[in-house]
């Protein structure tokens, strides 16, 4: 269930509703679980009559539903003849939960006992007609850019549930063909680390034979291959087995290794280093392998595995043969392109003089490379031939199509095919492109997606670069410009995150990003996930007290409008404020009270672990607990037999996160709520013996991957195999507790 959670059904089916879920009625409950827009449920107080409730979230849909109910039931089978729906009694538990979820959009139909079967059949006819008709486009069809923005934001936050909903919305609206749907699903599977599902899809749909796959899809496939067949060799530091496995897999997955520029992940670095070692048959190639290792060492981090792979270089290699002369560049480039060796073809393609014979090859190479630098190079070459030659080349369908795709990436007006086109080569040029052309549209997002991989994120450590970027950000005045920025925010954050620690020179840039994020008129479900991440980076960068206060004041307005499903993300946001030193504790306390008041409004839906965590966070801030919200700890764990946590009794749970305070809070909550539970916490960035032992022995391992992307997490994945490993989408205690609570509930249902 997505729109209606389990809490709704539990409360609706509790007393005074005495209805037994026999087969005629189970189908109506199942229909609610399938997230239909019209909810129909029965209720029985006594044997004389059955009350049916028809509820709808959307007011316009409710009006149409009300008319249909009159047609199918009316006074013949019920007491409803149309007009204003009857007022519900909020002192009745059943009707109170309906009002909470649907407001006034609820019909209450009293059905005489003698007509119960006929009325139910009429409702079944209505449902068959309603569910079978096409959905109203005006009601559900959001712009594709808006849906994809939410999809990318969800993936960036690790929220695969919301990402899946966005994917389903795209499919319902008719935006996706089967291939693109599979591509988006593969990226969700990558975030879930469902590696086997990815390779099964590759085999089923022959994805390796599809030319010009999206780069992030290729990366998902490559990472799946590594985690299933190579990660165990890395954990064991067995370079011999890794090189042997690479030789066995290379021919089958050769299309993944046409160019290294498609990737930006540890798995790709390891794979391409393996390929370099395997192909190191000359002295210059051996030297190039060592140069690769030196470059990896400069980026920081653990390079022991890369160094181990270099031990497999041949000890005796012949000298290089005579290199190709410049006159051979054309034939060499053609040969390498024919073998899809794009990286090897680069030097030869770039050496070609632009003319009608070479430009088509340059364009094809750039199209296959799919990098912004290659696209600009090809468009420059195309611009150096005469207009007559350009017209001639565009008569060839393949070349014309490839040119059009490259030109779409340009910031300037592309209505004139033969005109000069400028493609951004860094984030300053990208934000400047938004300022100069606010109609850039979806292509701005496409460039940002590529730029997050192509562009050097270390530029955000350069003061002059950051100043230019912040100045450009401050000039985004129109809603269209701001929308283009928000569409691409996940990719921009992806680049900024590579700067560790967060440079202080980014404080103004991050403050602007928070400002624009808070201006979003249609915030997605992941709004507070992104806000938490932005605030965390900004505070680390030294966010000023004035900006801290103004941003938190604007945040309070969003908190009051938060949905009940966002309570966990509100807790994560509050915890982030507690963890980081506050420029103004008074502003932080104001947000804490706003969150406490929001919990008060949904107090019947607040879970035991949420209460405990909120209580602890308010205590750390020395804030008073609202009288209307009972946050007192339960008297005894033995009295909690109805709690889902009961299923974790006697189990060993291991927790991994780089955020030590989060680990402490989760451990405290688990030990407080669960009898005889053993909780172990880890925050190492490398694989240790204790971590490996717990990965092998723990009943449940919770890995906060949003806060941990290091060698240690790879170690956990390799060692655990098919054992239960849970991955919360957030970085805070609430996210970890939520995924554990849901798993405990599943365990309880299966016992």
Q: What is the DSSP secondary-structure string of 536-575?
A: HHHHHTT--HHHHHHHHHHHHHHHHT--GGGHHHHHHHHH
Element (H, E) at 745: helix 733-749
* Nearest to 5, CA basis, from 423, 432, 563, 457: 563
From-to residues of CATH 3.40.50.2300 in the chain? 645-749
Residue with tokens 């389903």: 168
Question: What's the half-sphere exposure (Cβ side, CA atoms, 13 Å) at 493?
Answer: 28
394 Cβ contact partners less than 8 Å away, ≥ 6 residues apart: 400, 403, 417
The model's pTM: 0.77
In three-state form (DSSP H/G/I as H, E/B as E, the rest C), the secondary structure along 324-347 is: CCHHHHHHHHHHHHHCCCHHHHHH
**Confidence (pLDDT) at 678:** 95
**Confidence (pLDDT) at 491:** 95
439 Cβ contact partners less than 8 Å away, ≥ 6 residues apart: 480
- Whether the Cβ atoms of residue 569 and residue 153 lie closer than 8 Å to each other: no
**Confidence (pLDDT) at 636:** 43
Query: DSSP per residue over 284-321, as a string?
Result: HHHHHHHHHHHHHHHT-S--HHHHHHHTTS-S--PPPP
**Confidence (pLDDT) at 172:** 84
**Confidence (pLDDT) at 3:** 41
**Confidence (pLDDT) at 667:** 93
- SS3 state at 685: coil
**Confidence (pLDDT) at 673:** 85
Question: How many angstroms separate the most distant Cα atoms in the chain?
Answer: 98
650 dihedral zone (left: phi>0; alpha: psi -120 to 50; beta): left
Distance CA 167, CA 176 (A): 9
71 Cβ contact partners less than 8 Å away, ≥ 6 residues apart: none
- SS3 state at 352: coil
Q: Does domain 645-749 have CATH number 1.10.10.10?
A: no
**Confidence (pLDDT) at 478:** 92
**Confidence (pLDDT) at 35:** 60
The order of strands in the sheet holding 678-682 is 678-682, 652-656, 700-703, 725-726
* Nearest to 467, CA basis, from 424, 504, 516: 504
Structure tokens at 512: 């602007």
Distance CA 352, CA 378 (A): 11
Distance CA 396, CA 360 (A): 9
In this structure, are strands 652-656 and 700-703 parallel, antiparallel, or unpaired? parallel
**Confidence (pLDDT) at 637:** 44
Which stretches of the chain drop beneath a pLDDT of 50? 1-4, 137-138, 324-326, 633-641, 707-708
Query: DSSP per residue over 198-267, as a string?
Result: HHHHHHHHTGGG-SS--HHHHHHHHHHHHHHHTHHHHHTT-HHHHHHHHHHHTTTTGGGGS-GGG--SHH
CA-to-CA dists, residue 613 to 79, 446, 667, 679, 737, angstroms:
47, 40, 11, 17, 9
329 Cβ contact partners less than 8 Å away, ≥ 6 residues apart: 348, 349, 351, 352
Distance CA 365, CA 369 (A): 6
- Whether the Cβ atoms of residue 335 and residue 315 lie closer than 8 Å to each other: no
**Confidence (pLDDT) at 346:** 94
CA 224 distance to own-chain centroid: 17
């Amino acid at each position: 269930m997505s729109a209606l959670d389990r809490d709704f059904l539990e409360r609706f089916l509790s007393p005074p509703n005495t209805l037994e879920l026999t087969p005629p009625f189970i189908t109506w409950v199942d229909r609610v679980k399938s997230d239909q827009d019209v909810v129909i449920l029965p209720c029985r107080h006594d044997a004389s009559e059955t009350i049916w409730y028809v509820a709808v979230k959307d007011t316009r849909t409710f009006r149409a539903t009300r008319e249909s109910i009159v047609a199918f039931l009316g006074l013949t089978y019920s007491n409803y003849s149309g007009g204003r729906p009857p007022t519900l009694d909020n002192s009745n538990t059943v009707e109170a939960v309906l009002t909470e979820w649907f407001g006034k959009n609820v019909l209450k139909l009293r059905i005489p006992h003698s007509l119960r079967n006929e009325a139910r059949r009429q409702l079944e006819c209505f449902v068959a007609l309603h569910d079978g008709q096409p959905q109203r486009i005006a009601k559900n069809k959001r712009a594709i850019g808006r849906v994809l923005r939410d999809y990318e934001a969800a993936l960036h936050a690790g929220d695969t549930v919301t990402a899946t909903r966005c994917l389903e919305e795209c499919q319902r609206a008719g935006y996706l063909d089967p291939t693109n749907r599979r591509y988006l699903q593969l990226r969700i599977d990558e975030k879930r680390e469902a590696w086997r599902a990815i390779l099964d899809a590759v085999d089923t749909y022959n994805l390796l034979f599809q030319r010009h796959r999206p780069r992030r899809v290729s990366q998902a496939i490559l990472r799946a291959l590594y985690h299933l067949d190579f990660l165990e060799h890395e954990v064991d530091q067995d370079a011999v087995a890794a090189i042997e496995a690479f030789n066995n897999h290379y021919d089958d997955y050769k299309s993944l290794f046409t160019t290294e520029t498609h990737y930006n992940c540890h798995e790709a670095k390891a794979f391409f280093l393996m390929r370099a070692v395997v192909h190191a048959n000359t002295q210059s190639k051996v030297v190039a392998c060592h140069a690769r290792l030196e470059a990896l060492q400069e980026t920081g981090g653990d390079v022991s595995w890369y160094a181990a792979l270099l031990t497999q270089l041949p000890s005796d290699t012949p000298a290089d043969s005579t290199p190709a002369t410049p006159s051979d560049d054309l034939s060499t480039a053609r040969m390498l392109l024919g073998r899809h060796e794009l990286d090897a073809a680069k030097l030869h393609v770039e050496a070609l003089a632009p003319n009608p014979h070479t430009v088509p090859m340059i364009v094809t190479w750039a199209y296959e490379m799919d990098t912004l630098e290659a696209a600009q190079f090809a468009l420059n070459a195309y611009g150096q031939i005469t207009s007559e030659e350009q017209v001639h080349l565009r008569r060839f369908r393949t070349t014309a199509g490839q040119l059009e795709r490259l030109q779409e990436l340009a910031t300037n007006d592309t209505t004139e095919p033969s005109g000069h086109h400028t493609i951004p080569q860094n984030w300053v040029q990208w934000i400047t492109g938004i300022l100069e052309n606010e109609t850039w549209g979806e292509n701005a997002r496409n460039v940002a997606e590529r730029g997050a991989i192509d562009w050097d994120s270390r530029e955000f450590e350069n003061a002059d670069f950051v100043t230019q970027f912040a100045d450009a950000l401050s000039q985004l005045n129109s809603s269209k410009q701001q929308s283009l920025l928000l569409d691409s925010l996940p990719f921009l954050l992806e680049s900024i995150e590579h700067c560790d620690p967060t440079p202080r020179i980014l404080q103004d840039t991050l403050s602007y990003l928070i400002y624009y994020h808070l201006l979003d008129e249609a915030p997605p479900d992941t709004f507070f996930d992104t806000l938490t991440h932005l605030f965390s980076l900004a505070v680390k960068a030294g966010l000023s007290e004035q900006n801290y206060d103004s941003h938190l004041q604007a945040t309070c307005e969003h908190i009051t409008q938060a949905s009940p499903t966002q309570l966990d993300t509100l807790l994560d946001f509050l915890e982030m404020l507690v963890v980081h030193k506050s420029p103004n504790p008074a502003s932080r306390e104001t947000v804490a009270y706003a969150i406490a008041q929001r919990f008060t409004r949904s107090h019947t839906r607040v879970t035991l672990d949420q209460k405990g965590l909120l209580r602890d966070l308010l205590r750390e801030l020395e804030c008073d607990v609202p009288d209307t919200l009972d946050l007192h700890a339960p008297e005894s764990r033995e009295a909690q037999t109805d709690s889902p946590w009961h299923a974790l009794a006697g189990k060993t749970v291991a927790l991994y996160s780089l955020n030590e305070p989060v680990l402490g809070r989760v451990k405290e909550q688990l030990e407080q709520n669960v009898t005889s539970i053993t909780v172990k916490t880890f925050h190492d960035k490398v694989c240790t013996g204790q971590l490996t032992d717990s990965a092998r022995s723990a009943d449940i391992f919770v890995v906060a991957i949003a806060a941990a992307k290091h060698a240690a997490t790879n170690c956990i994945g390799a060692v655990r195999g098919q054992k239960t490993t849970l991955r919360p989408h957030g970085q805070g205690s609430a996210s970890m507790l939520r995924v554990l609570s849901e798993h405990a509930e599943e365990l309880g249902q299966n016992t």
